[in-house]
Amino acid sequence: MKKITLALVLLTFSVQAQDFPLPYCEITDSNDVSVEEITSVDFAGTSISNADLANVLIDETANVVDIAQDETYTIEVSGNTFGNFDNDIVAFIDWNQNDVLDDTGEIYEIGTLTNSTGSDGVSVSIAITVPADAVLGTTRIRLTKTYQDADSPAEINPCGIQFNPFGQGVFSGFGQALDFTLQIDTSLSTGEFDTNALTVYPMPVKDVLNVSYKSLIDSIKIYNLLGQEVYSKNTNSDSLQLDLASLTVGTYIIKLFTEQVQHSFKIIKQ
């Protein structure tokens, strides 16, 4: 269990739109939350990196992720647990666009991060299916990262980073929240990535990575776990050989783009 102290936390607020996070809730008692950051998010082919250690609620609403009704996407989240501690990661998505983030069917418990620096390849992920009746247009997704342990469960609350230490009541805790934007459409539903038709080898890769798919690959991008683009190539082929010898040893995220769909997957560079 982390030592709980009473302290004044000086917050340096980043420049944000004046109305953020309206029409959605702020984080309750944010001055009492000890910030422990979400370092990266990968969802539906879009990567977001974050190194803000000052703000409890991060405004990434300028990042717009295109998704489609009745399609399934994987969301993957990394974060700094500040030692050998557990942090619960939860996503809240306003599918019905009523400005409330925790209606029935809008809460996704992604998993628990344990003993991670946020940049060591440790992450949690879950597959999310967009409801067939999700309201079309733009809506909000919020991620919360909240410390917990066996005696002090985290509260599932889009409006607070909170836990209940030793059953003594709900208190502000340790963690962070991050908002970004989803654009829900129907046009993307005509295309579905066929993972069975994708071939990637060798794995792990040392120098040359072979990638092939059943249809033409328009482009490919590679990101490190901080969300930084380290490789980009425009292509017009269904079979690629990528020279990755210059990349340092570690884990990377590859985004593959075809005419209709995109797909993300991880590789390990030796």
- SS3 (DSSP) at 32: helix
Q: Global pTM?
A: 0.66
Average pLDDT over every residue of 47-61: 96
pLDDT of residue 168: 95
pLDDT at position 227: 65
> What confidence tens digit (pLDDT) does each residue in 174-188 have?
999 999 999 998 754
Domain segments of the chain: what residues? 30-188, 191-269
**CATH fold of the domain at 191-269:** Immunoglobulin-like (2.60.40)
Task: Please give the mean pLDDT across all residues of the chain.
Answer: 88
Please, which pLDDT band fits residue 11 given cuts at 50, 70 and 90? very low
pLDDT at position 228 is: 75
Distance CA 2, CA 19 (A): 34
Domains 30-188 and 191-269 share a fold: yes
In our burial notation (b when 16+ CB lie closer than 10 A, e otherwise), range 28-40 reads eebebbbbbbbbb
Lowest mean pLDDT among 9-23, 41-55, 89-103, 150-164: 9-23
Please give, one letter per residue, the 3-state secondary structure of 145-183.
Answer: EEEEECCECECCCCCCCEECHHHCCCEECEEEEEEEEEE
Given a contact cutoff of 8 angstroms between Cβ atoms, the answer to whether 79 and 176 are in contact is yes
Enter the tokens of residue 234: 């425009």
Q: Are 206 and 243 in contact (CB under 8 A)?
A: no
Within 13 Å of residue 77, how many CA atoms lie on the same side as its CB?
29
The yes-or-no verdict on residue 69 having pLDDT over 90 is no
Structure tokens, 266: 């991880």
Strand, coil or helix: what is 105?
A: coil
pLDDT mean over 68-87: 92
Q: Decide: 142 and 103 in contact? Cβ < 8 Å.
A: no
- The CATH classification number of 30-188 equals 2.60.40.10
- Arithmetic mean of pLDDT, 11-33: 75
pLDDT of residue 224: 83
Place 253 in a pLDDT band, splitting at 50, 70 and 90: confident
State yes or no: pLDDT of 1 exceeds 60: no
| Per-residue pLDDT reduced to its tens digit, 134-153 | 999 999 999 999 999 999 99
Per-position b or e across 187-212, b if 16+ CB within 10 A of its CB:
ebeeeebeeeeeebeeeebeeebebe
**pLDDT value for 180:** 97
pLDDT tens per residue across span 192-246: 778 889 999 999 999 999 999 998 999 998 988 766 788 989 988 999 999 999 9
Q: Average the pLDDT over 54-70 and give the result.
A: 92
- pLDDT at site 32: 95
